[in-house]
Structure 1
Amino acid sequence: MSVERTLIHFPLDPASRQVRLALGEKRLPFKEVSVRYWERPKEFVALNPSGLTPVLVEEANGRRLVVCESRAVLDHLEEQHPEPPLLGREPEERAEARRLLQWFDRKFDYEVGGYLLHEKMEKRLLGLGAPDLANLRQGREALRAHLVYMESLLAAREWLAGRRLSLADFAGAAHLSVIDYFGDVPWRDFSSVKTWYVKLKSRPCFRPLLADRWPGLAPAGHYDDLDF
């Protein structure tokens, strides 16, 4: 059955990036539509009343399925396209992948992205003025604490959740990649995390993310460099 997929997303949204990585890793073709979600366009809000990205629309045999926001979309992709599995093949790895998904989407996003991305990206998009230096400092301190934790995981594992690549890696990489877009990741101080990120950055599914650009928001010079 031929399925036509459209992913409505914001390129610098970590949640959207997780779904793009999963679609790419599963080699599922899709069309991308960028949306300025903060302006709450009527057509987009009609699809997802929360007004949050991403939204996946699938059309096949005259039927239309709308799946809203990253966790629902990722679960849908795992159910409908189980190969390659991105939650692990063993219960322990699946449980750990789910735990880390929550870690990045709640704890990391709140403690790091909530400061750095709000100050460096959201304020510019919304015209809210210059970044607050105290908030930037707090976000950077929290980022280092999270990177220390990731170093401890990778000291004992090949990937964040265990022996195999999982959605936990895509969640971590999605969040870090947007922070890295603005040049705030201290890679030199965290060699294991950098090696892990290089492996992810070199995968075919990651290449579209490295081509992302948004008007008025230029990336750091090393952002798309595979040998940074």
Structure 2
Amino acid sequence: MAAERTLHHFPLDPASRQVRLALGEKRLAFQENHVRYWERPEEFARLSPSGATPVLVDSDGEGELVLCESRAILDYLEERYPEPALLSRRPAERAEARRLLQWFDRKFDFEVGGTLLHEKMEKRLLRLGSPDLAALRHGREALRAHLDYIEALLQGREWLAGQRMSLADFAAAAHLSVIDYFGDIPWRDFPGVKTWYMKLKSRPCFRPLLLDRWPGLAPAGHYDDLDF
């Protein structure tokens, strides 16, 4: 029996986007259930103890497996469906990819995404009023520092963790893509990052992300443009 998968996610959640990119790159079909996580739906809470998206339910005829948290889901997909591999077979490159996964999910999210997305997205969803201009300025300054770091990495590498695309690239692209949805990335100032992002943006696995829209949250005009 063919596997049946359902991904419970919020389209503009960077963690959810990482899983969607991995599923797409591995050509694993799945159904989608959009979760309004801020409303703490009871049905979703039974699946996710933390209340955080994403959750992947994978059923292959032998049973149903409920997987919570993006890192656990990504590890599962890489082990359960190893081709195409999204981690290098070289130990040093695998370690670097995992380091960068941690970097974007913790440091980048704390210093950049947690500020910009709270001000531009969560405040609207939660009806908490207008964005705080000082917080936006602080988040944009932190974003530039991170873009400088990515630019430096790419000067000596084809992809973020080495010579082949990996989960590190998906993590970075997932976080940056949501910020780009709101038009806050100064692409002109970071040509290496822009070229790298354009390569990812043109991949088939990325196309569903470019179609994402959420009521009341319109994307920047260039968001779905491959030649932005």
TM bucket normalised to smaller: over 0.9
Deviation at 1:140, TM superposition (A): 0.1
Cα deviation 1:51-107 (Å, max 9, x = unaligned): 000000012225110000100000000010111111111001100000000000000
Equivalenced residue count is 228
Q: Does 1:94 find its partner at 2:94?
A: yes
- Alignment partners' CA distance in 2, 1:125 and 1:25: 30
Q: Which residue does the alignment assign to 1:5? A: 5
Q: Aligned letter for 2:156?
A: A
Q: Which residue does the alignment assign to 1:181? A: 181
Q: Does 1:54 find its partner at 2:64?
A: no
Q: Aligned letter for 1:58?
A: D
- Alignment partners' CA distance in 2, 1:60 and 1:144: 44
Q: Which runs of 5+ in 2 are unaligned?
A: none
Q: Which residue does the alignment assign to 2:28? A: 28
Q: Secondary structure at the match of 2:32?
A: strand
- Alignment partners' CA distance in 2, 1:144 and 1:218: 23
Cα deviation 1:184-223 (Å, max 9, x = unaligned): 0000000000000000000000000000000000000000
Extract structure 1 runs of 4+ deviating beyond 4 A.
none
Alignment of 1:1-228 (within 5 A): 1-61=1-61, 63-228=63-228
Q: Aligned letter for 1:181?
A: Y
- Alignment partners' CA distance in 1, 2:77 and 2:128: 37
Q: Aligned letter for 1:184?
A: D
- Alignment partners' CA distance in 1, 2:171 and 2:59: 26
Cα deviation 1:153-203 (Å, max 9, x = unaligned): 000000000000000000000000000000000000000000000000000
Question: Once superposed, what is the RMSD of the aligned Cα atoms?
Answer: 0.6
- Alignment partners' CA distance in 1, 2:62 and 2:188: 52
Deviation at 1:109, TM superposition (A): 0.2
Cα deviation 1:124-157 (Å, max 9, x = unaligned): 0000000000100000000000000000000000
Identity score, percent: 79
- Alignment partners' CA distance in 2, 1:120 and 1:30: 29
